[in-house]
Amino acid sequence: MPITLVELKNFLNDGEFEVTEALIVEPGALAAAQLDEAEQEELEFERSWHAALISKERQGSESTLGLVLAADLKSEQAGKIEGDHVALLSKLEWTQVQSLLVAESEEAELSWFAPQEIATYLSKWLA
């Protein structure tokens, strides 16, 4: 899901994050059955890149970073699915974070960060 630097900082500090919807990056079971592995990866990248652009837009001109948080949702957290978005019924917990993808330029490139690396890089990004 797209996230701003301030939201990420607060999430890391509070251990939970309230968000009303998330972008579904992985294709659903039906789509996955119709796509080969390379096509699935391409679709996941395109959706992640789109989320990074949304993050940049939400932060305005002061940020050149697009941040995309990948988290595993519990089944009871997922509400109605519309298109490539799912309504979230409860707060995310930091323990659900799988990774952070970061777009650092205008090129279609995303850097991957493990949850344990985020705090170290966050202080650098906020400086």
Question: What would the pLDDT profile of 33-85 be if each residue is shown by its tens digit?
Answer: 566 778 778 888 888 998 999 999 999 866 689 999 999 888 888 888 887 78
The mean pLDDT value of the chain amounts to 86
What is d(CA 31, CA 35) in angstroms, rounded to the nearest whole number?
6
**Domain regions of the chain by residue span:** 2-126
Query: What is the reported pTM?
Result: 0.84
Mean pLDDT of 86-93: 90
What does the radius of gyration of the chain's CA atoms come to, in whole angstroms?
14
What pLDDT, on a 0 to 100 scale, did the predictor assign at position 29? 45
Question: What would the pLDDT profile of 5-17 be if each residue is shown by its tens digit?
Answer: 999 999 999 999 9
